[in-house]
């Protein structure tokens, strides 16, 4: 499992980092591809949801964010409701609570957060802030994994995740602050408080995103939402943390 996780990460890492370095249009193109893959996973996991319905619900907020920014994201989220009704009214077999939930998830859980990556790219120092949003969860995961493996004794949420420990969560938090804090302080010129707060927020929201998907899979009685990435599960398993950290990084960068 660890071998496949490493191989997949070595393939995906350069693709993601390359898109970030190329600029906002490359980022948005990659975002649309990821949203499309996520729509495919949800359509398969929550049958009989039509794939075009899931795709539109996720893509509309992203597309409208390009010309209209935050207002476009809000408009896209609202438009996902009539989009959902259009598809559910036309296909009787798709009029289920699972299908409706999937459409709302695609809009609010996937489309809206992913659209924030484009907003971050347009900020001053946006390229580096996207790196914080994307790479920060990887750092947090690494800290949590090794701290949990060597020191983990107390389960964090036993009913949600039998492997996550308090020690692991603290390890992820400490390592993320130790890496993100100095980087943003030295490169972006953030104040010490802002740098520490951003590092802490990335780790907390990253771990919260992972727990959210765990809760979702338990509610839906699913072991995995997809299996397209060897060693990682599906695309949603890979971006679950990013879906929480991207909006956090954007708004913290504006308001702190």
pLDDT score at 206 = 96
pLDDT tens sequence across 204-252: 999 999 999 988 888 888 877 766 655 456 889 889 999 999 999 999 9
Distance CA 229, CA 4 (A): 9
Facing residues of 165 across strands?
155
pLDDT score at 225 = 74
pLDDT score at 184 = 92
Residue 112: C-alpha distances to residues 52, 76, 127, 184, 211 (Å): 17, 8, 19, 25, 19
In this structure, the number of other CB atoms found within 10 A of the CB of residue 191 comes to 11
All residue ranges of the chain with pLDDT < 50 are 1-2, 4, 231
- Secondary structure class of 104 (helix, strand, coil): helix
Report pTM: 0.90
Per-domain residue ranges for the chain? 1-122, 125-256
pLDDT tens sequence across 13-23: 788 888 888 88
- Please check whether residue 66 is in contact with residue 118, taking contact to mean a CB–CB distance below 8 angstroms: yes
User: Please, what is the average pLDDT of the chain?
Assistant: 87
| Helix extents (H) in 105-221 | 112-121, 126-151, 166-187, 192-220
pLDDT score at 108 = 94
Tokens 């809009």 correspond to 107
pLDDT score at 229 = 57
pLDDT score at 13 = 75
Percent of the chain with pLDDT over 90: 50
């Amino acid at each position: 499992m660890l071998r496949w996780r490493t191989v997949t990460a070595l393939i995906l890492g350069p693709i993601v980092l390359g898109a970030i370095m190329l600029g906002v249009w490359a980022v948005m193109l990659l975002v649309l591809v990821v949203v499309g893959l996520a729509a495919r996973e949800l359509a398969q996991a929550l049958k009989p949801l039509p794939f075009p319905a899931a795709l539109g619900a996720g893509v509309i907020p992203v597309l409208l964010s390009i010309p209209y920014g935050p207002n476009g994201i809000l408009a896209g989220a609202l438009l996902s409701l009539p989009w959902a009704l259009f598809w559910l009214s036309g296909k009787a077999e798709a009029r289920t609570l699972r299908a409706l939930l999937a459409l709302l998830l695609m809009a609010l859980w996937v489309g809206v957060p992913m659209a924030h990556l484009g907003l971050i790219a347009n900020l001053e120092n946006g390229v580096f802030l996207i790196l914080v949003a994307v790479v920060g969860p990887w750092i947090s995961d690494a800290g949590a994994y090794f701290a949990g493996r060597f020191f983990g004794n107390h389960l964090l949420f036993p009913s949600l995740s039998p492997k996550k420990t308090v020690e692991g969560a603290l390890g992820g938090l400490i390592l993320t602050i130790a890496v993100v804090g100095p980087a943003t302080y030295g490169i972006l010129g953030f104040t010490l408080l802002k740098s520490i707060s951003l590092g802490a927020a990335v780790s907390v929201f990253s771990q919260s995103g992972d727990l959210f998907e765990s809760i979702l899979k338990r509610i839906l009685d699913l072991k995995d939402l997809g299996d397209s990435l060897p060693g990682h599960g599906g695309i949603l398993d890979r971006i679950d943390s990013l879906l929480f950290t991207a909006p956090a990084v954007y708004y913290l960068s504006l308001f702190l």
